[in-house]
Amino acid sequence: MSVREPRSFHLKSSLKYFVLLLCVCGFVLGGAQIDSQPALTQVITASIGRLALVKAAEPTAIGRQLRVNGRLVNGEWQKRRDLIGISDGALATQLGVNLGSTGTPAQQPVVWFNSTNQGLLTLPAWHYENTRYVDIAPLVRQHGWQVKSQGSVLDITLPASQIMAVRQGRQTWGNRLVLDLSRATAWQVSPAANSITVTVDAAMDEGAIANFKPASDNSLKSVTVSSSGARTTLTLTVADYLQARVWSLAEPARLVIDIRPDALEPREILWADGVQFQQRYVALNSQRFPVYTLSLDANQSNFSLLPLWAFPNQAPGIKPPADLASQWQTAALINGGFFNRNNQLPLGALRYNNRWISGPILGRGAIGWDNQGKVLMDRLTLAATVTASNQTYTVDTLNSGYVKAGIARYTENWGSQYTSLIDNEVVVTIQNNQVVQRRTLGTAGQDTVSIPQGSYLLVLRSFNSAASAFPPGITVTLNQQSQPSSFDQFPHVLGAGPLLVANGQLVLDAQREAFSRNFIEGRASRSAIGTTPNGQIKLVTIQGRVGGRGPTLLEAARILQRLGCTDALNLDGGSSSSLYLSGRLINRHPRTAARINNALGVFTQSSTTNSP
């Protein structure tokens, strides 16, 4: 296969800023009157689509938890003297505030019990390190919230509300439930398989519950309402492939729950200069797919891309995507390559700052990049040999959970020790290019061998005939090179596969990359990374088609082309498919996301030093 020249994208220009917008208003925070003039030293107004760059004092208070009506939840917040903001993700997930589209990162339109003549309420927004904060002052003032900081926790108390009645109506596209409220309140949505739970911070008396007589049909099979204290929970059992769109109305206050196959609301948010989030449907013939995209404009933004893995001191292990993002303090991430879910071992390439945490397998697709902006996508192998006792042997894998007869190599990047993967392995310890130990292990999973710093192990599997070439004291020569060799110039590599698009053409050949027939023919949620001719890097997740399962590999490749990608690589998918931004998963609920072994992280310049 011919080697393509790597594309050069400028991954670093300028995203290290503090963004703050004047909020000329006063509101009560814990009983104290807020000064209407924020603590700013300089404000520079930018053109449309660019942030107002502000030099401001460091936050005077900051935390990662909210207490909403007495309920402790995760959510980043910060206070800058007299201003207080909540992360846009927490505002949406914990309070039920719907974020609208915006082409200005310093402004966030929202819908939260807006009156019909009010339209969208536009809130000021700013960035600090990895998080975009939205000023809640207008909501506090308009709806009578009480807000007070208690150490690292921000207390938010909304006026008490009550559900007066629940009404149900059949629509052409599905079912609609309307909750009549005494006043605006917070809500949360939690989906699961064939079930949707909507929790509302409002009481509902037994009489109102008894008066609600839900009508079931093939799409909405049942509705259960329960109320405890000041919270009411609606549990909806729904048919396959149905979702909920929850939104609010004012005058009078109502919460609307639409159950439909096409619940995704198109949205486009310029999250930061050169960092744009978009969710929309992409049509292929008669099928429509919900597609979530994080587009990184490398010509404008100062960001770094780094491969991430679950535990910094070892290659094995898995974590929830949000936990992995928190650990690495990343602004955004997309799940990465494959792994064995049973033993939690990686099954693909991961190279971090020239360290092979895990090597490639089976010549599968990979992406390599450097800190100067060059990017390469291609199929990758790692050609390695060891020579001892005048005999040369092929090394099949490096730091990998992929098992085959032959020789595998494990370094300290795998962890402090190696645990046998199959029975009767022969393990050779090599330090300073000499064999220091040769040991035959027993039952798989029962024996371990330490990996001293600066040494490596050769693990012989069903290859006892080669063991005699590695007696203690013998010199061992290792040779290793990437194929294509152009990958060797990149300090960072992430492997998955199959390769989808190259130079604008479909190059999907999953059999060549040794994927199974079930994988090739399956329909599932997909994750992918692509690049465009104008210098964009797109992190993409594709969920189940309207009324059905996710795309095939071929459909995923065509969707990436529709998004303008001329090079694209498939990543791990299914329950692993996760796109994270600003403190939350944006393509699915955390309850439905599987734990993952590795990912691709997006860092602002100010946060890269915090990575493990």
Q: Which pLDDT tens digit goes with each residue over 145-183?
A: 999 999 999 999 999 999 999 999 999 999 999 999 999
Our CA angle for 259, 263, 268, nearest 5°, is 155
One fold for both 163-260 and 381-480? no
Mean pLDDT, residues 582-595: 93
d(CA 320, CA 596): 6
**Alpha carbon 424 to chain centroid, angstroms:** 40
pLDDT per position as a tens digit, 25-74: 333 333 332 232 232 222 222 222 323 333 345 888 999 999 999 999 99
pLDDT one-digit tens code per residue, 441-469: 999 999 999 999 999 999 999 999 999 99
Q: Are 44 and 54 in contact (CB under 8 A)?
A: yes
Could you tell me which residue, 302 or 54, shows the higher pLDDT? Answer: 302
- State the chain's mean pLDDT as an integer: 89
What CATH number matches the domain at 381-480, 2.60.120.1140, 2.60.40.10, 3.40.50.300, 3.50.50.60? 2.60.120.1140
The model scores a pTM over 0.85? yes
pLDDT attached to residue 525? 97
Q: Please check the confidence at residue 16 and state whether its pLDDT lies above 80.
A: no
For residues 41-79, b (16+ Cβ closer than 10 Å) or e, as one string? eeeeeeeeebbbbbebeebeebbbbbbbbeeeebbbbbb
pLDDT of 41 reads 24
Q: What percent of the chain has pLDDT over 90?
A: 83
Q: What is the pLDDT of residue 147?
A: 96
Q: Are 586 and 302 in contact (CB under 8 A)?
A: no
Average pLDDT over residues 217-237: 96
Amino acid at 265: E
CA–CA separation, 592 and 578 (whole Å): 10
Architecture of the CATH domain 163-260 = Sandwich (2.60)
- Tokens found for residue 133: 């904060």
Please report which confidence band the pLDDT of residue 9 belongs to, taking 50, 70 and 90 as the band edges. low
Higher pLDDT, 299 or 14: 299
**How much is the pLDDT for 17?**
35
pLDDT score recorded for residue 301: 61
Q: Where do the domains of the chain lie?
A: 28-157, 163-260, 267-380+486-610, 381-480
